[in-house]
Amino acid sequence: MYERGRAGTLTAVLGPTNTGKTHLAIERMLGHATGMIGLPLRLLAREVYDKVVARAGAANVALITGEEKIKPAAPRYYVCTVEAMPLEVETEFVAVDEIQLAADPERGHVFTDRLLRARGSHETLLLGAATMQNAINGLLPEANIASRPRLSRLSYAGQKKVSRLPRRSAIVAFSASEVYEIAELVRRQRGGAAVVMGALSPKTRNAQVELYQSGDVDFLVATDAIGMGLNLDVEHVAFASVRKFDGRLTRELTPSELGQIAGRAGRHM
């Protein structure tokens, strides 16, 4: 599957959050005999894996991330983090999600590599933000561009204290210490909160997501990792700060980062 120029359609599906891009990729993949999807987060990969298993059966689906590897004897479908995509496996369908991470200082080289070379023999989808359109037009003139509108309206609700946040809210912070501090505050004032961040083990992360999704708690406190496509039952997103340390310096969030994270509200899957 790892060869640019192979026969097969190449489409970039671009748009803001909550446009159903990941859902589209799952449906397209299941329409092929074999397929692979690369996702930006381990937790999102697990979420998509569970959905594909429910449709295709556990014997037909592999999950490959930096932390988990579930590989049946003869999988038809591979759900992976982008970095863990098994490049030697040939499949009819390939999708790469959040392709705008090609511009990321730390992970960009991997996403750029997949952008340029990861291909399905029949169909390839590149999913991401509309900001990638010019780059894709320049690098991949053969690609079809499909734009998708947001499926729900996003609006600014102003500043609120924790005690006044509506139920089914996600509070986004930018350090582990701040996440735990806010979660404790929410638990004292509102009765319960789930915590989601990359530093947790897969088992713990999955349990915390289920705690929130099941309705056992109405508040989620997370790092900005939830901006990378997690499909949670979130009606409101609150920012603990609009500044983050990006590995080099502390800076203001860009408009695209704000939109990506805030777009978790009103998710459609």
From 110, 114, 150, 116, select the one nearest 130 (Cα to Cα): 150
User: Average pLDDT, whole number, for the chain?
Assistant: 89
End-of-domain residue from the set 112, 147, 182: 147
End-of-domain residue from the set 87, 114, 147: 147
pLDDT, tens only, 162-189: 889 999 999 999 999 999 999 999 999 9
Structural domain contains residue 251: yes
Residue written as token pair 């998509």:
48
Q: Residues with Cβ < 8 Å from 112, sequence gap 6 or more?
A: 102
End-of-domain residue from the set 147, 174, 208: 147
Length of the chain: 269
Same domain for 212 and 172? yes
Residue 269 is predicted with a pLDDT of 39
CATH at residue 246: 3.40.50.300
pLDDT, tens only, 238-260: 999 989 887 788 889 888 788 77
Quote the strand ranges of 166-252, DSSP E. Answer: 169-172, 194-196, 219-222, 236-239, 243-245, 250-252
The pTM assigned to this predicted structure is 0.79
Rg (CA), the chain: 19
Same domain for 214 and 93? no
Rounded-to-integer distance, Cα 149 and Cα 18, Å: 8
Bridge-based pairing state of the strands 69-70 and 61-64: antiparallel
From 39, 34, 31, select the one nearest 85 (Cα to Cα): 39
Print the domain residue range for 244.
162-262
Residue 268 is predicted with a pLDDT of 43
The pLDDT-based confidence of 157 (bands split at 50, 70, 90) is confident
Same domain for 27 and 50? yes
Instruction: Pick from 123-132, 201-210, 219-228, 253-262 the range whose average pLDDT is largest.
Output: 123-132
Residue 231 is predicted with a pLDDT of 72
Rounded-to-integer distance, Cα 263 and Cα 234, Å: 10
Same domain for 140 and 105? yes
Same domain for 214 and 126? no
Structural domain contains residue 268: no
Same domain for 30 and 141? yes
Same domain for 14 and 91? yes
Q: Which two tokens stand for residue 24?
A: 């589209």
The single-letter DSSP state of residue 158 is -
pLDDT, tens only, 91-134: 999 999 999 999 988 899 999 999 999 999 999 999 999 999 99
Same domain for 86 and 127? yes
Same domain for 77 and 113? yes
Structural domain contains residue 207: yes
Rounded-to-integer distance, Cα 41 and Cα 135, Å: 23
Reduced to 3 states (helix: H, G, I; strand: E, B; else coil), residue 258 is helix
Structural domain contains residue 101: yes
Same domain for 86 and 37? yes
Structural domain contains residue 4: no
Q: How many domains does the chain have?
A: 2
Same domain for 133 and 186? no
Structural domain contains residue 238: yes
Same domain for 206 and 105? no
Q: Tell me which of 256 and 26 has the higher pLDDT.
A: 26
Structural domain contains residue 66: yes
Residue 230 is predicted with a pLDDT of 66
Task: Average the pLDDT over each of 76-85, 140-149, 196-205 and give the range with the smallest value.
Answer: 196-205
